[in-house]
């Protein structure tokens, strides 16, 4: 458990989940005063690892003044968090009417009530085209109305040292009148699907991320000792820090012999579609063709699912989701990734304890903000904010709140859906600059 009296400022963690965002902020000296999370298992995980209280409440039905009372008259430095993403995730049905999508505006109401100096809103890239772009446009416009200068940026968290290519939308704002950018990218990356080579060093590979963990057990109750007393690489050393037990939990699998034979047919990067048809599970065929048959527009399908997929050991992992421990096959062994391996890839340290059923824990890990990326963001805000000695002076007369800029994609092409979002956000830029 983290030490409760470490240097901190008031941070409110919403949609806290297992505490990845909060743990990362605490690592930068910004211990959240509490978490707020609807899932009871995740609340327990949060409290056992972050310390303090995680309020087990439904944010959609709690009045915003509840959160002002939690702060006890403190001026919050930051509100952090992102609502559940399944409503507009490319891995889901992308239903614009999904009630979970409305939670993004509950976040807005809480920011309006507690008035933090900064906020960080994190979510999946599907947010950018949710409601044909109207959701992110309305959200940004309302933040501006509240007096926040805002930047919208689709980032790949591998660029901050996370050993997976994880695309996320970051909406960051402040009410100080300060222009800012996102942290500089420190790493190249390549997962076989997403890549950005450069002169920068590559983020830790999957092999480096999983190094040092012993052979997976066959029972969840078994703890697995490290292969040796020493770490093989800096990332492994970071993950093993503070783990005094010399072993890890949640490192188990229950792969049947017939499935081991099936996985043995897959080379690195290959998926279900690369197997002989007689080995393709019936559910894969249904998932692959369901959206085509029901006439759903192609931009809402999210692509045909790959089912199982063997990862590349020498590259970064694909994005860890709640199904990764069922569908991502270990690069060298004929089994799926274990829950602990997924946690490593999400940069949860080995001493981090998770609570709930195996399925619940897998979902907690898949939904989390990687702590390593969260620490990078926290330190970046500290460097910008004058309260932490950056030298930036808060303006005595604040400039008008404005959209500071946005990055929706780094690719040369842009889908029609994303073009709509670009046009709407450009209208905000033009209005603020006096062009309309």
Query: Any idea what the CATH number is for the domain that residue 283 is in?
Result: 3.90.120.10
Mean pLDDT lowest among 50-64, 204-218, 337-351: 50-64
Helix axes 103-114 and 134-145, enclosed angle (nearest 10): 10
17: in domain? yes
Q: Is the pLDDT of residue 432 over 70?
A: no
- Predicted confidence at residue 93, as pLDDT, reads 41
Q: Are 191 and 266 in a shared domain?
A: no
Q: Is residue 377 part of a domain?
A: yes
Q: What is the count of structural domains for the chain?
A: 2
Q: Give the pLDDT band of residue 7 (cuts 50, 70, 90).
A: very low
pLDDT tens-digit profile of 193-209? 999 999 999 999 999 99
Look at residue 415 in the predicted model and tell me its pLDDT. Answer: 92
- The percent of residues above 90 in pLDDT, for the chain, comes to 74
Q: Are residues 114 and 192 in the same domain?
A: yes
Name beta bridge partners: 53: 34
Same domain for 42 and 144, yes or no, is: yes
Judge whether 5 lies within some domain: no
C-beta of residue 310 within 8 angstroms of C-beta of residue 318:
no
- Mean pLDDT check: name the lowest of 24-38, 351-365, 380-394: 380-394
pLDDT at 350 over 50: yes
110: nearest Cα among 184, 36, 55, 54:
36
- Give residues with Cβ within 8 angstroms of 322, minimum separation 6: 362, 363, 365, 366, 367
Domain assignment present for residue 256? The answer is: yes
**Residue 119: closest CA among 150, 84, 75, 162:** 150
pLDDT tens-place string over residues 276-312? 887 776 665 565 554 444 444 444 444 445 689 999 9
- Report d(CA 300, CA 317) in Å as an integer: 25
What is the tens place of the pLDDT at every residue in 152-179?
999 999 999 999 999 999 999 999 989 9
Alpha-carbon gap, residue 169 to 136, rounded angstroms: 10
Containing domain of residue 406, as a range?
A: 11-199+371-432
- Shared domain for 338 and 223, answered yes or no, is yes
The answer to whether residues 257 and 337 belong to one domain is yes
Among 7-21, 243-257, 262-276, the least confident range: 7-21
Residues in the chain: 436
State whether 338 and 401 are in the same domain.
Answer: no
Of 399, 382, 319, give the one whose Cα is nearest residue 89.
Answer: 319
- pLDDT surpasses 50 at 143: yes
Give me 280's structure tokens.
Answer: 């393709």
Choose among 313, 324, 327: nearest CA to 259.
327
Helical residues (DSSP H) of 83-213, grouped into ranges: 103-114, 134-145, 206-210
In a domain, 415, yes or no: yes
| pLDDT tens-digit readout, 12-23 | 999 999 999 999
CB 342 within 8 A of CB 162: no
Residue 315 lies in a domain: yes
Residue 108 shares a structural domain with residue 139: yes
- Please give the pLDDT value at position 281: 66
Q: How far apart are CA 35 and CA 184, in angstroms?
A: 28
Query: Which pLDDT does position 399 carry in this prediction?
Result: 72
| In a domain? residue 384 | yes
Considering the domain architecture, whether residues 80 and 30 belong to the same structural domain is answered as: yes
**pLDDT (mean) for 346-361:** 98
Check pLDDT > 70 for residue 2: no
In whole angstroms, give the CA distance from residue 206 to residue 189. Answer: 11
What pLDDT shows up at residue 295?
A: 45
- Report the catalytic residues: 85
Please give the full DSSP string across 244-256, using - where no structure is assigned: TTSEESS-B----
Domain boundary among 366, 383, 407: 366
Identify the domain boundary among 330, 346, 366: 366
Mean pLDDT of the chain: 88
> How many Å apart are CA 267 and CA 104, to the nearest integer?
40
Structure-token pair, residue 430: 């033009």
- Other CB atoms within a 10 A radius of the CB of residue 56 amount to 17
Band of residue 395 on the pLDDT scale cut at 50, 70, 90: low
Lowest model confidence (mean pLDDT) among 72-86, 298-312, 329-343: 298-312
Q: Are residues 228 and 376 in the same domain?
A: no
Q: Which of 346, 366, 386 represents a domain boundary (last residue)?
A: 366
What mean pLDDT comes out for the span 3-26? 81
Whether 1 is in a domain gets the answer: no
Least confident of 6-10, 241-245, 289-293: 289-293
Joined together, the tokens standing for residue 127 give 């947010």
What's the pLDDT at 70? 87
Residues 148 and 227 in one domain: no
* Average confidence (pLDDT) over 139-161: 97
CATH of the domain at 95: 3.40.50.150
Beta carbons of 85 and 363 less than 8 angstroms apart: no
CA distance 4 to 256: 44
pLDDT at 397 over 60: no
Q: Residues 364, 353: contact at Cβ < 8 Å?
A: no
**Number of Cβ atoms within 10 Å of the Cβ of 321:** 21
Judge if 397 and 308 occupy the same domain: no
User: Same structural domain for residues 122 and 260?
Assistant: no
What is the end-to-end Cα distance of the chain in Å, rounded?
A: 53
pLDDT above 70 as % of the chain = 84
């Amino acid at each position: 458990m983290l030490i409760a009296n470490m240097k901190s400022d008031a941070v409110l963690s919403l949609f806290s989940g297992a505490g990845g965002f909060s743990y990362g902020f605490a690592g930068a000296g910004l211990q959240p005063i509490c978490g707020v999370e609807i899932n009871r298992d995740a609340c327990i995980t949060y409290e056992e690892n972050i310390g303090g209280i995680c309020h087990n409440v439904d944010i959609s039905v709690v009045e915003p003044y509840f959160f002002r009372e939690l702060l006890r008259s403190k001026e919050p430095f930051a509100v952090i968090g992102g609502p559940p993403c399944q409503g507009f995730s490319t891995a889901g049905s992308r239903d614009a009417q999904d009630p979970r999508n409305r939670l993004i505006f509950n976040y807005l109401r809480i920011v309006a009530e507690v008035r933090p100096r900064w906020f960080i809103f994190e979510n999946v890239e599907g947010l950018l085209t949710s409601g044909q772009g109207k959701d992110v446009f309305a959200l940004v416009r309302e933040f501006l109305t509240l007096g926040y200068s805002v930047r919208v940026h689709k980032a790949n968290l591998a660029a901050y040292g996370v050993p997976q290519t994880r695309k996320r939308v970051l909406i960051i704002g402040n009410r100080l009148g300060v222009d800012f950018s996102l942290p500089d990218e420190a790493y190249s990356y390549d997962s076989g699907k997403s890549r950005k080579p450069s002169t920068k060093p590559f983020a830790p590979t999957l092999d480096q991320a999983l190094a040092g963990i012993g052979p997976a057990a066959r029972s969840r109750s078994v703890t697995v000792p490290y292969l040796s007393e020493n770490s093989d690489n800096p990332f492994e050393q970071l993950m093993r820090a503070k783990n005094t037990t010399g072993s890890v939990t949640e490192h188990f699998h229950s792969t049947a012999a017939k499935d081991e034979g099936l996985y043995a047919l897959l080379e690195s990067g290959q998926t279900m579609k690369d197997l002989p048809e007689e080995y393709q599970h019936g559910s894969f065929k249904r998932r692959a063709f369901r959206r085509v048959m029901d006439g759903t527009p192609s931009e809402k399908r999210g692509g045909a699912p790959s089912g199982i997929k063997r990862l590349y050991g020498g590259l970064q992992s694909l994005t860890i989701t709640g199904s990764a421990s069922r569908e991502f096959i270990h690069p060298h062994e004929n089994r799926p990734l274990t829950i602990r391996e997924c946690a490593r890839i999400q940069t949860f340290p080995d001493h981090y304890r998770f609570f709930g059923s195996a399925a619940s824990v897998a979902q907690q890990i898949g939904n989390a903000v990687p702590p390593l990326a969260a620490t990078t963001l926290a330190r970046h805000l500290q460097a910008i904010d004058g309260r932490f000695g950056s030298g930036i002076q808060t303006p005595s007369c604040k400039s008008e709140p404005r959209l500071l800029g946005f990055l929706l994609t780094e690719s040369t092409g842009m889908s029609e859906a994303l073009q709509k979002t670009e046009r709407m956000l450009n209208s905000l830029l033009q209005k603020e600059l006096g062009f309309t």
